[in-house]
Structure 1
Amino acid sequence: MLIRGLDRERFQSVVAMPRREGNGAVKALFRDAGAEVIEERDIRPFNGSSVAPNHKLKDRAYAIASYPFTVRCAKRLVDDVRPDLVHLNSTCLVAAAAGAHMASPDLPVIAHVREPLLSNRWGRALASLNRRHVNSFISIDEAGLRTLGSKDVDGTVVYNFVDERAFHADLRLGEKYRRTQAWDDDDVVFLFLARIAPSNGPLELVRLIDANIQKLHPSARFVVAGFPERKADYALAAYEAVKQSSRCVALDFVEDAVPLMLASDVMVAPFTEPHSARSVFEGAALGKPGLVANVPHLVELVKDGRTGAVFSWEEPNTFVSAVNDLCNSDKRREMGRASLEFAKANFCSKTGVEKTMSVYDKLLENR
């Protein structure tokens, strides 16, 4: 969306992406957006975030061993392409920042902070490398910027954004999907739509629901969507828990989630670890209030009591109260309208592109 929205008279996009088997669709996506695409074997991550923690010794050894390859690759690319600015997709590509500056010391390099860096020694090392080699940061939230470990970094918050077309989605898609699922008109559907992983809390959500089932409004129904075809370990445990719950329904991963979101009434992000939730701001663009756990990153996406509700894992009654409030149709509609306005102001692709281009302009002007 960023590439597609850039001013073509001022910016020419070149995307360097990993050369990997099965990346054809990704390559086509960038090309269709208007970018020249270069594939390189030695674009490798130096992970250390809540999404890719690098806890295992072999993963850390791979990251360290791969670092100089990515440095060399970035140096060669900058020598060949001679860009005016480099925008890295993630802080895990910090080796590319080092390589870019080896080729051109005054070249502005931006790193996108897409998930919080870890607070352990490994995460602090990654943060230190980024502060040393990156000129400016664009973060998807304030909480992400703070994980860089310094108040002095040049950082700008540009929330993840959704295509403007989402704001004009056909509501009939939701009505049709709801009929195919045989959901009653009186059901208030709370939708979990994320990876089935411990950090996202679907199993913990089902357990919380079942532990408080008598206190929850009788209209509340919970849909846990995103299950992979092959389920093992945590995903299997979550799937079995959903199947045994009288208030929950399990759905497999879907490519097009818009009809499912339109058919639902509330987006739920019960994350147990801090990171952002795409379903919450995509849902807001469709006029759906959010119900999120009280963790950094999520609380920036929902204005408690206005565009949705925030609950605490340590206080189960806050979850019960939030669900029951959202089962009130008048309150829910009011929050849905407020969610849509909040999304237009913060999550619209046009706004996100303009904010990003303003960062580009500032860095280019300083150069």
Structure 2
Amino acid sequence: MAQPTVGGVAAYVAAAVADQAARGFEVTVACPDGPLADHVGDAHRLWPARRSPTRSVWREVRALRRVVDEVTPDVVHLHSSKAGLAGRLAGLDATVLFQPHGWSWYPAQGMCSVAALLWERRAARRADRIICVGDGELERGRAAGVDARYAVIRNGVDLKRFAVAGDAERAAARRALGVRGGPLALCLGRVTPQKGQDVLLSAWPRVVARRPDARLALVGDGTPDRKVPRGVLTVPAVADPRPWLVAADVVVLPSRWEGLPFVALEAMATGRSVVASDVPGLAEVVTPDVGALVPPEDPRSLAAALAERLADDCPRTAAEGVAAARAATAYDADVTYAALAALTLDVAGFGAPPVK
């Protein structure tokens, strides 16, 4: 079960479905119509659910239960907070795995945040395992009092698709994308408060003051809630992010919270220096040798880290790119999905997974 059907969650589900189908699993994906449904094809069953909790939640619970009754699965894997809410309210007669992909109280405010945390504490035992995508997500869950049977299966990157890109490939990618001029910083992801593009836009004039020919590309759906300063390109979401990663000198993730973002891993595998917020999920992958961690919501520190790496022939930027590519090999997607298949079978009592 999955909602949302775009972005990192959808990419994870699609990859997991492909891996498990190759192992001989019979996989059904219950989700709303959209890109994920299109991707999984005949495996899709319609689950009409909104992304955020609304008064329709009990109708969504009943719809989910109908799908489960029709499919009669051995294991139900609930991806992200909305599926986790509906699936655990439904009282399903199956082994239940819940994967938050970022805890539900992160984006909430005020009493909604309190309610989300109380729900996660109460519902934790309604899942046979809660799967965290990184150590930071697990630590934050435990620190918040979510007492659960946890497993950590770190997100992974397709190392064959996201291979190291050198200077010649970077120049070709820039020509193809129509990017001209000086060094390029890339922020890749849906424009939301979580991803912190507003902080980056506040920082950017300080970067341009030190490097007037620098460019920033914001690639992702959504509209910034403030004026876009000089030197910033806004580009809608793209199906394949690799050309933009190849074109960039530095990838920046000014997020307020994360699980363990694919963008960071893809940037590292491509051989790019990464500047990111010092938050769980980023702090565990952006080590000092692969980039810089800066305090979240601190435009001045963010600008300083970016300006340094966008300077002419900065040796640190190149060295961090080399170290980043080396570090990315510890996050192989094949290992991620093999571990997920093994856990799924183990929790359900089926033993070791078949080889693909």
TM-score (norm 2): 0.78
Q: Distance in 2 between matches of 1:174 and 1:253?
A: 20
> In the alignment, which of 39, 44, 56 is matched to residue 46 of structure 2?
39
Helix, strand or coil for the counterpart of 2:186? strand
Residue 220 of structure 1 and its aligned partner are, at CA, apart by 4.5
Helix, strand or coil for the counterpart of 2:308? helix
Helix, strand or coil for the counterpart of 1:199? coil
Counterpart residue number, 2:26: 12
Residue 205 of structure 1 and its aligned partner are, at CA, apart by 1.5
Counterpart residue number, 1:51: none
Residue 315 of structure 2 corresponds to residue 330 of structure 1: yes
Structure 2 unaligned spans of 5+: 1-14, 107-112, 352-356
Alignment of 1:20-169 (within 5 A): 20=33, 23=34, 25-31=35-41, 36-41=43-48, 43=49, 47=52, 59=54, 62=55, 65-67=56-58, 69-93=59-83, 94-101=85-92, 104=93, 107-118=94-105, 120-145=113-138, 146-147=140-141, 149-150=144-145, 152-168=147-163
Residue 354 of structure 1 and its aligned partner are, at CA, apart by 1.3
The one-character-per-residue Cα deviations of 1:126-163 (angstroms, maximum 9, x if unpaired) are: 31343142121112233333236336412222233333
One-letter code aligned to 2:228? A
Residue 341 of structure 1 and its aligned partner are, at CA, apart by 2.3
CA distance change for structure 1 residues 8 and 314 in 2, over 3 Å: closer, same or farther?
A: closer
Counterpart residue number, 1:50: none
The one-character-per-residue Cα deviations of 1:38-71 (angstroms, maximum 9, x if unpaired) are: 2234x455x4xxxxxx6xxxx4xx2xx423x343
Residue 97 of structure 1 and its aligned partner are, at CA, apart by 3.1
Residues 95 and 347 in structure 2, CA contact (< 8 A), matched pair in contact too:
yes
Residues 74 and 97 in structure 1, CA contact (< 8 A), matched pair in contact too:
no
Residue 180 of structure 2 corresponds to residue 183 of structure 1: yes
Residue 193 of structure 1 and its aligned partner are, at CA, apart by 1.4
Aligned residues: 324
Residue 14 of structure 1 and its aligned partner are, at CA, apart by 1.5
Alignment of 1:115-264 (within 5 A): 115-118=102-105, 120-145=113-138, 146-147=140-141, 149-150=144-145, 152-168=147-163, 174-180=170-176, 181-184=178-181, 187-211=182-206, 213-214=208-209, 216=210, 220-226=214-220, 228=222, 231=223, 235=224, 237=226, 240-242=227-229, 245=230, 247-264=231-248
Residues 117 and 144 in structure 1, CA contact (< 8 A), matched pair in contact too:
no
Residues 95 and 348 in structure 2, CA contact (< 8 A), matched pair in contact too:
yes
One-letter code aligned to 1:113? P
Q: Distance in 2 between matches of 1:77 and 1:241?
A: 45
Identical-pair percentage? 20
Residues 271 and 325 in structure 2, CA contact (< 8 A), matched pair in contact too:
yes
Q: Distance in 2 between matches of 1:39 and 1:132?
A: 27
Structure number with larger C-alpha Rg: 1
Q: Distance in 2 between matches of 1:66 and 1:272?
A: 27
Residues 250 and 309 in structure 2, CA contact (< 8 A), matched pair in contact too:
no
One-letter code aligned to 1:37? H
Residues 64 and 87 in structure 2, CA contact (< 8 A), matched pair in contact too:
yes
Residues 275 and 296 in structure 1, CA contact (< 8 A), matched pair in contact too:
yes
Residue 336 of structure 2 corresponds to residue 361 of structure 1: no
Residue 360 of structure 1 and its aligned partner are, at CA, apart by 1.1
Residues 186 and 251 in structure 2, CA contact (< 8 A), matched pair in contact too:
yes
Which moves more between the two structures, 132-141 or 272-281?
Answer: 272-281
The one-character-per-residue Cα deviations of 1:319-341 (angstroms, maximum 9, x if unpaired) are: 41464156454322221122122
Residues 162 and 266 in structure 2, CA contact (< 8 A), matched pair in contact too:
no
Q: Distance in 2 between matches of 1:14 and 1:224?
A: 34
Residue 315 of structure 1 and its aligned partner are, at CA, apart by 7.8
TM-score (norm 1): 0.76
Residues 121 and 147 in structure 2, CA contact (< 8 A), matched pair in contact too:
no
Helix, strand or coil for the counterpart of 2:161? helix
Residue 121 of structure 1 and its aligned partner are, at CA, apart by 1.8
The one-character-per-residue Cα deviations of 1:258-298 (angstroms, maximum 9, x if unpaired) are: 11110111110112455554322221121112100122322
Helix, strand or coil for the counterpart of 1:224? strand
One-letter code aligned to 2:175? R
The one-character-per-residue Cα deviations of 1:89-118 (angstroms, maximum 9, x if unpaired) are: 1232232234253xx2xx210011112221
Residues 45 and 67 in structure 2, CA contact (< 8 A), matched pair in contact too:
no
Q: Distance in 1 between matches of 2:155 and 2:120?
A: 21
One-letter code aligned to 1:27? A
One-letter code aligned to 1:28? D
Counterpart residue number, 1:310: 293
Residue 75 of structure 1 and its aligned partner are, at CA, apart by 3.4
